[in-house]
């Protein structure tokens, strides 16, 4: 196991908080896969972030992903008002195919040992490529894991909570842009109909929205048919004519090529890092497109496992999740008042809370 501290981020968040507390990289003794765990900050509490299992072109790409996502988790927790820091675990899968059987178990046990080596500084949970059953295997090697199956006393699948938070953020955007938070007749295009996207689609349809769905998995078309939603080809979705564009899969869908061609009034979705480059937030503001910073929008999943960690009841969880809408409304209003972007205001809010936590701990 190798360890580096003070790793300088390559990404453009403000302030000295771009320095990471720790980066650990290991080659799993059972599986041989590269594992990276990045701890960005523990100023407010232990660094909590999911275990992402993904096939990268090189291990270096996986390490950089861990760094990028760990930093985002710090700001997500701070903006949500949670007593958590930010971290992320990345497992570099050996091939694009999902590891199964004994290989998967070996990978997860190796990851559990890597988590345990940090002594509670990092707490893991499910993420892209992992689920509650995987957390149960990781828990064989460390107690610093949340998101366990319900039968194990855990919070289980966080996607219903995440979807509820996205809906709260989306309503806040509608209220800011149109002066009305009602869903009736609102045209929403959801990119990615996985766990969160499918649940968001149901909530929107139940609220009277006109929903369009796409996914790289064509079998998801059945969901659109079941809900009475419209199906659109994945290659056309980013430029769909809609009120709200809701990316709910992998990030980077709004890039330099698409930002000036968007045909939506609002961008608000569950995906991490919706913007391929943070400077695109300025372009969206210039065009009058309301952008809801994703690290606030998708905090419901983090809140779900935070509740498990701190034994909050469902009422406490609901209050924290619904507050996502209040926070989005605040940053949108402040951006308009200061002539900045919602992303800049969201980052500023998170930094204020981080500095306050660091000062209290000093």
Note whether 24 and 54 are same-domain residues: yes
Number of domains within the chain: 2
Question: Does the active-site annotation cover 76?
Answer: no
Catalytic residue among 10, 88, 121, 226: 88
* Inter-helix orientation angle 59-79/300-310, to 10°: 70
Please report whether residue 26 resides in a domain. yes
The C-alpha angle 252, 255, 257, rounded to 5 degrees, equals 145
Q: Which of 98, 119, 152 is the last residue of a domain?
A: 152
Pairing between β-strand 210-214 and β-strand 187-191 as defined by DSSP bridges:
parallel
Residue 114 has pLDDT above 80, yes or no: yes
Same domain, 173 and 320: yes
Residue 74 clears pLDDT 80, i.e. is over it: yes
123 with 47: CB under 8 angstroms? Answer: yes
The answer to whether 242 and 188 are in contact (CB under 8 A) is yes
What average pLDDT does range 94-111 have in this prediction? 97
**Has residue 113 been placed in a domain?**
yes
What rounded mean pLDDT belongs to the chain? 90
The upper half-sphere exposure of residue 342, i.e. CA atoms within 13 Å in the direction of its Cβ, equals 31
Asked, for residue 37, whether it belongs to a domain, the answer is yes
Residue 344 in any domain: the answer is yes
Low-confidence winner among 16-20, 67-71, 84-88, 344-348 (lowest mean pLDDT): 16-20
Rounded to whole angstroms, the Cα distance separating 226 from 209 reads 15
Residue 358 lies in a domain: no
Statement to judge: residues 131 and 189 lie in one domain: no
Summarised one tens digit per residue, pLDDT across range 211-252 is: 999 999 999 999 999 999 999 999 999 999 999 999 998 788
**Which domain-ending residue is among 129, 152, 175?**
152
- Weakest-pLDDT range from 5-9, 70-74, 284-288: 5-9
Closest CA to 351 of 304, 295, 309: 295
Let me know whether 263 and 348 are in one domain. Answer: yes
Q: What is the pLDDT of residue 153?
A: 63
139 and 240 belong to one structural domain: no
C-alpha span between 13 and 41 (Å, rounded) = 14
**pLDDT at 189 exceeding the cut of 80:** yes
Which of residues 272 and 328 earns the better pLDDT score?
A: 328
* Distance spanning both ends of the chain, measured CA to CA: 30
Asked whether the beta carbons of 88 and 69 are under 8 A apart, the reply is yes
Same domain membership, residue 145 and residue 9: yes
If asked whether residues 197 and 343 sit together in one domain, one would say: yes
* 328 and 205 both lie in a single domain: yes
Tens digits of residue pLDDT in 1-41: 444 433 333 334 333 334 799 999 999 999 999 999 999 99
Let me know whether 327 and 198 are in one domain: yes
Domain membership flag for residue 75: no
Rounded Cα–Cα distance for residues 20 and 332 (Å)? 29
Give residue 185's region: left, alpha or beta (phi > 0; psi -120 to 50). left
Q: Are residues 128 and 202 in the same domain?
A: no
Q: Which residue, among 50, 253, 62, has the nearest Cα to 159 in the 3D structure? A: 50
Domain end residue (candidates: 123, 152, 181): 152
> For 150-170, what is each residue's pLDDT tens digit?
666 666 678 899 999 999 999
Of the two residues 91 and 15, the one the predictor is more confident about is 91
Q: For 45, left (φ over 0), alpha (ψ -120 to 50), or beta?
A: left
Question: Looking at the predicted structure, is the pLDDT value of residue 362 above 70?
Answer: no
Per-residue pLDDT at 308 exceeds 90: no
Based on the fold, state whether residues 51 and 132 are members of the same structural domain.
yes
**145-177 CB burial, b ≥16 within 10 A, e <16:** bbbbbeeeebbbbbbbbbbbbbbbbbbbbbbbb
- pLDDT of res. 157: 74
User: What is the phi/psi pair of residue 213, to 5°?
Assistant: -125, 145
Cα separation, 223 vs 220, in Å, equals 5
**Is residue 190 a part of any domain in this protein?**
yes
Which residues constitute the domain of residue 140? 2-68+86-152
Token pair of 249 as six digits: 């899969």
What's the predicted TM-score (pTM) here? Answer: 0.83
**195 and 129 in a common domain:** no
Strand partners, 51: 89, 126
**What CATH number should be reported for the domain holding residue 173?**
3.40.50.720
Q: Is residue 311 part of a domain?
A: yes
Of 46, 22, 45, 37, nearest to 123 by C-alpha is: 46
Task: For residue 108, give the CATH number of its domain.
Answer: 3.40.50.10860
Which comes out higher in pLDDT, residue 3 or 299? 299
**Average of per-residue pLDDT across 343-362:** 81
């Amino acid at each position: 196991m190798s360890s580096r501290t003070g790793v300088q981020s390559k990404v453009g968040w403000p302030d000295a908080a771009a320095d990471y507390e720790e980066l650990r990289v290991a080659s799993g003794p059972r599986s041989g896969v590269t594992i990276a765990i990045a701890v960005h900050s523990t100023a407010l509490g232990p660094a909590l972030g999911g275990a992402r299992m993904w096939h990268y072109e090189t291990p270096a790409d996986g390490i950089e992903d861990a760094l990028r996502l760990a930093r985002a988790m710090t700001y997500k927790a701070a903006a949500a008002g949670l007593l958590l820091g930010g971290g992320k675990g990345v497992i570099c899968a050996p091939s694009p195919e999902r590891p199964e059987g004994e290989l998967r178990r070996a990978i997860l046990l190796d990851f559990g040992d890597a988590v345990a080596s940090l002594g509670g500084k990092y707490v893991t949970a499910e993420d892209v490529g992992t689920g509650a059953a995987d957390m149960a295997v990781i828990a064989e090697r460390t107690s610093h894991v949340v998101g366990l199956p319900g039968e194990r006393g855990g919070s289980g699948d966080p996607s219903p909570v995440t979807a509820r938070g996205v809906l709260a953020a989306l309503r806040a955007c509608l209220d800011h842009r149109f002066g009305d938070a009602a869903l009736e007749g609102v045209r929403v295009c959801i990119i990615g109909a996985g766990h969160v996207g499918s649940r968001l689609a149901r909530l929107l349809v139940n609220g009277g929205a006109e929903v369009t769905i796409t996914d790289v998995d064509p079998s998801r078309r059945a969901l659109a048919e079941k809900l009475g939603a419209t199906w659109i080809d994945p290659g056309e979705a980013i430029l769909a004519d809609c009120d709200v564009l809701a990316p709910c899969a992998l990030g980077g869908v709004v890039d330099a090529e698409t930002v000036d061609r968007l045909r939506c009034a609002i961008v608000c979705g569950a995906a991490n890092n919706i913007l391929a480059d943070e400077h695109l937030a300025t372009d969206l503001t210039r065009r009058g497109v309301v952008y809801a910073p994703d690290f606030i929008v998708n905090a419901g999943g983090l809140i779900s496992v935070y509740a498990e960690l701190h034994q909050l009841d469902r009422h406490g969880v609901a209050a924290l999740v619904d507050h996502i809408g209040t926070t989005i409304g605040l940053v949108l209003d402040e951006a308009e008042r200061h002539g900045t972007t919602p992303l800049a205001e969201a980052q500023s809010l998170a930094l204020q809370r981080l500095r306050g936590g660091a000062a209290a701990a000093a």
